[in-house]
Amino acid sequence: MKAGRGVALVEQDYLRRVLLREREGSGGIAPSLIEQTARFCLDHGYHVVVEGILGSQLYAPSLRGLLAAHCGPRFCFYLDVTFAETVRRHATRPQSAEFTPDDMRAWYQPRDLLGVDGERIIPEHSTLDETVDYIATLTGLTPTASSG
């Protein structure tokens, strides 16, 4: 992550899959853990990035509650990517062997927006650098060369 110190990255994959070893589905505690982790970091003065495939069916109540409760600036970004592009990008990740495109097809929800005021959509054609610049401009956070 390019934001550096003072920004906490709350990764859905890490909390759900690694820490909890929880499968995606109703009845899980990952949405609550993500919300509590983000709140804890915010309460201690961090900027927080909650990142992941956060399907609205499971995560919307926690994310909406988190956004509503925070008194400071709030931003919500949705990366709008087709299934074909999702598969292509997944193939470039170190975790690419952990699940297949067929697995992903069952999870993929096109335009699964949170539906909150100010939610911003990042289009598929936006490059990584363009996306980082866009988010940095809107949020006022300055990317750094190193996360150290």
Nearest Cα to 22, choosing from 52, 49, 63, 47? Answer: 52
CA torsion through residues 50, 16, 43, 4, sign? negative
Cα–Cα distance between 51 and 10 in angstroms, integer? 6
Report pTM: 0.84
Residuewise pLDDT in 10s, the chain (148 residues): 455 678 899 999 899 999 999 988 888 999 999 999 999 999 999 999 999 989 999 999 999 999 999 998 999 999 999 999 999 999 998 889 988 999 889 889 999 999 999 999 999 999 989 998 999 899 887 766 544 4
Average pLDDT, the chain: 90
